[in-house]
Structure 1
Amino acid sequence: MLDRRFIRENPQAVKAAVRVKGIDLDVDELLSLDQASRELQRELDEAQTRRKSFAREFARADEAARERLRAEHDEQDEHLQKVRAELSATNERLQSLLLLTPTIPWEGTPVGPDDSANVTIKTWGEPPVFDFEPKDHVELLENRGWAEFARARKVAGERAYALTGDIVLLERAMLSYALDYLIERGSAVISVPALVREDPLIGNGQFPAHREETYAITADDLYLAGTAEVALVGLHSGEILDARALPIRYAGISPCFRREAGGAGRDVRGLIRVHQFEKVEQFVICAADDAESDAWHFEILGAAEHLLQGLGLHYEVVECSTGDMGAGKYRMNDINTWFPSLGRFRETHSCSSLHDWQARRANLRYRDTDGTVRFAYTLNNTAIATPRLLAALVENHQTAEQTVRVPEALRPYLGGRAEL
């Protein structure tokens, strides 16, 4: 969400952001509602001031004057009720549009309608070379008795899975590996609720535009979060933090749930696109300073790259286009990891700077050293998300004997085992 004054003073910049990000928003309507809101608020303030003066006038007036004042008072009360109703309706509509306003993207962001306009800015490693016919992760897991896909679908429908045996331990090892590294780098580890109220989803930016992608528990007015970021934004909503407490850096772990629309095919087979997964999420709250935010962006992006390099996985980093980055993002870099069975990269990480877009929605502020209260900046990035990254690891490190080589970084979590 953008500041109303900023929108008034920079309407063309906001319109340009709306256009390149593909947001369905009428900025002129928003500006008109903003003006109407301010005029109605002035009218309300003046009417309330006039109403307060009635008491003093009434005390000094004679009986004849009091009759006139009573009539004026009744008329003023009716006017106040009308103005309040108009202001409430106007502000409600205005707020619905403000929630759709996008952050102005970084000037170096590629302009395009979707991920087809993303630009690769870095690659690391090389695709594995096999001297045998490699298997995709589904066949490999089933052959090893490490997954129950058909039986899981009996329980939970399409895109369900159940892991068993050593592959469960490997998944646990990946998550612990990520947590330990982030703790070492100064993050506070935290497990957060997967069941959340509506307000954190608004604060995070999932609602209202992406409501249909979220599972709803209607009987309890709760929702299943698609990332720990939702709860991490919500933890400090409505607070005024001390500037000396910043930056706050979390390593959040939680189960995650997404409805994940899309058709069938090899690129959604098995563990690649599922409804339930686990993730370690990086989340940063920092001061409202562009340079500091940029530094944190590359810090958490570098952390994700370090983890992938420790897993020995070939990946690319892309600069996401305006149409792919979402409304709230100032800058977004995806990391796509190589899948041998697909012969291409698939997204496994998404690093985003949002400036104060989330903080304004969640009313997340801090008191600066000079006493000024400001909206904080927020950033997030995946550290490890399974089981998609687990599928990549299995495919890239498989052997001709259908075992999986364990990257050295994970061996301490598996009793030193080099192969499963």
Structure 2
Amino acid sequence: MIDPVLLRENPDVLRQSQAARGDSVDLVDAALSADAARRAAIGEYENLRASQNAFGKKVAQAAKEEKKALVAEAQSLAAEVKAASQRASDAEAEFTTIVRQIANPIIDGVPAGGEDDFVTLREVGERPSFDFEPKDHVELGETLGIFDLARGAKVSGARFYYLTGIGARLELALMTLALDRAEKNDFVPLIVPTLVRPEIMAGTGFLGEHSDEIYYLPADDLYLTGTSEVALAGFHSDEILDLEGGSKRYAGWSTCYRREAGSGGKDTRGILRVHQFNKLEMFSYVLPENAENEHLALVSFQEQMMQDLGLSYRVIDTAAGDLGSSAARKYDIEAWIPTQDAYRELTSTSNCTTFQARRLETRYRTESGKTAPVATLNGTLATTRWIVAILETHQQADGSVIVPEVLRPYLNGVERIEPK
């Protein structure tokens, strides 16, 4: 949720953000009107309530013969107070409905536009070249016994798969490496719930225009999460945090579920875009003034993983129209996939400023003793999709794949995956 003070005092910031995102600018004016109506209704209710309290004292002090007439007047006033309370509640609900449709205002410098309007910040590493015809990750995965797509489809349908043999070990190695790195950087490991209540899913901003991407269990009124960000954001909901150290960091390991309803048939081959996968997600609660520095720190942790895995990649500043509603800025890291002759996203990290915390009532205590919303950030540190880049980048002419050195201790020293 946006800051109502920002809405009242600097609505042009929100108008410009909405325009950059390609979202409705009229929502800002509608929210201003609803806010004015809400405040007026609350003021009316409070004035009537004060009058009621004062009148109650008058009735208590009145002579016996006067009380009968005064009680009737008090009852009339009570009815007015009740009606005013309902008007205030209705106005509050109307304001909340409108203001929740306004996305988090973007940070200065975020490029305007849509999916193709990102800005490349840097390219790192030499793109792999081969003196043989490289295989794609599907052929490599099947000949190396890393995954089984046919049986995944037989059991669960399209975009499901089995990780098999060394493939299962490879994913666990990748995730465990990331978890070790996270712990060294003060992230507390969590294995999180993957079913959450509607208020937690809504609080993170995932029940907006992309809600059709989410699996919902109506019999239980629970949502399957597409990222552990949701459970991590809910971890401290309705709490006041001690942020004297500047931040609280968590690393959430979970299975993730996505319907991919809006993918339009993209990447149906292989394990690049699937319905179920594993992911280790970094999540930070920080003081708002520290959020941008924390964002850069999360990117640096991701880049170190990319470099140590020997992957060529680029870092992009995602355009406003390609941000989720809760992100004020998002950096993606895309690895080079040789057989696609293209960069493909492996990680993203978002600065959600105070947007999620306002919805979830996650606060800290300021020096004045008052409470204020914290800032939240999230970023991927490992996921199943990374196997695609590892296989294609490190493949050899004989069909084998060299295991990146940093993963070998987690694979009992295996240096090369050989064809079955």
Name the TM-score class by shorter chain: over 0.9
Partner of 1:322: 320
1:354-412 CA deviation, whole Å, 9 max, x = no partner?
211111111111113442322111111111111x1111111111122222110001010
Conserved in 2, the CA contact under 8 Å of 1:23 and 1:100? no
Partner of 1:139: 139
Partner of 2:343: 345
1:202-254 CA deviation, whole Å, 9 max, x = no partner?
22111234322211111111111111111111111111112325311111111
User: Alpha-carbon deviation of 1:156?
Assistant: 1.4
CA RMSD in angstroms, aligned pairs only: 1.6
Residue 410 (structure 1) aligned with residue 407 (structure 2): yes
Distance 1:55 1:368, change over 3 A: closer
Conserved in 2, the CA contact under 8 Å of 1:335 and 1:349? yes
Residue 174 (structure 1) aligned with residue 174 (structure 2): yes
Within a 5 Å distance, the mapping from 1:162-311 to structure 2 comes to 162-261=162-261, 262-265=263-266, 267-289=267-289, 292-311=290-309
Distance in 2 between residues matched to 1:232 and 1:11, nearest whole Å: 31
Partner of 1:48: 49
Residue type of the alignment partner of 2:105: I
Residue type of the alignment partner of 2:151: R
Q: Find the residue that maps to 1:323 and give its secondary structure.
A: helix
Partner of 1:378: 376
**How many residues of Structure 1 are paired with residues of Structure 2 in the alignment?**
415
Conserved in 2, the CA contact under 8 Å of 1:315 and 1:338? yes
Residue type of the alignment partner of 2:395: Q
Conserved in 2, the CA contact under 8 Å of 1:242 and 1:368? no
Gaps of 5+ in 2: none
Conserved in 2, the CA contact under 8 Å of 1:110 and 1:118? yes
Distance in 1 between residues matched to 2:39 and 2:97, nearest whole Å: 16
TM-score (norm 2): 0.95
Conserved in 1, the CA contact under 8 Å of 2:204 and 2:326? no
Q: Find the residue that maps to 1:2 and give its secondary structure.
A: coil
Gaps of 5+ in 1: none
Q: Find the residue that maps to 1:180 and give its secondary structure.
A: helix
Partner of 1:151: 151
Distance in 1 between residues matched to 2:46 and 2:291, nearest whole Å: 39
Residue type of the alignment partner of 1:66: K
Q: Find the residue that maps to 2:401 and give its secondary structure.
A: coil
Distance in 2 between residues matched to 1:145 and 1:104, nearest whole Å: 47
User: Alpha-carbon deviation of 1:179?
Assistant: 0.7
Conserved in 1, the CA contact under 8 Å of 2:204 and 2:359? yes
Q: Find the residue that maps to 1:138 and give its secondary structure.
A: helix
User: Alpha-carbon deviation of 1:351?
Assistant: 1.4
**Which of the numbers 391, 394, 397 marks the counterpart of 1:400?**
397
Distance in 2 between residues matched to 1:246 and 1:319, nearest whole Å: 25
Conserved in 1, the CA contact under 8 Å of 2:2 and 2:105? no
1:30-59 CA deviation, whole Å, 9 max, x = no partner?
111111111111111112122223332223
Q: Find the residue that maps to 2:250 and give its secondary structure.
A: strand
Q: Find the residue that maps to 1:117 and give its secondary structure.
A: coil
User: Alpha-carbon deviation of 1:64?
Assistant: 5.5
Residue 121 (structure 1) aligned with residue 118 (structure 2): no
Q: Find the residue that maps to 1:19 and give its secondary structure.
A: helix
Distance in 1 between residues matched to 2:198 and 2:265, nearest whole Å: 31
Distance in 2 between residues matched to 1:417 and 1:60, nearest whole Å: 89
Residue type of the alignment partner of 1:402: G
Q: Find the residue that maps to 1:220 and give its secondary structure.
A: coil
Q: Find the residue that maps to 2:402 and give its secondary structure.
A: coil
Conserved in 1, the CA contact under 8 Å of 2:27 and 2:101? no
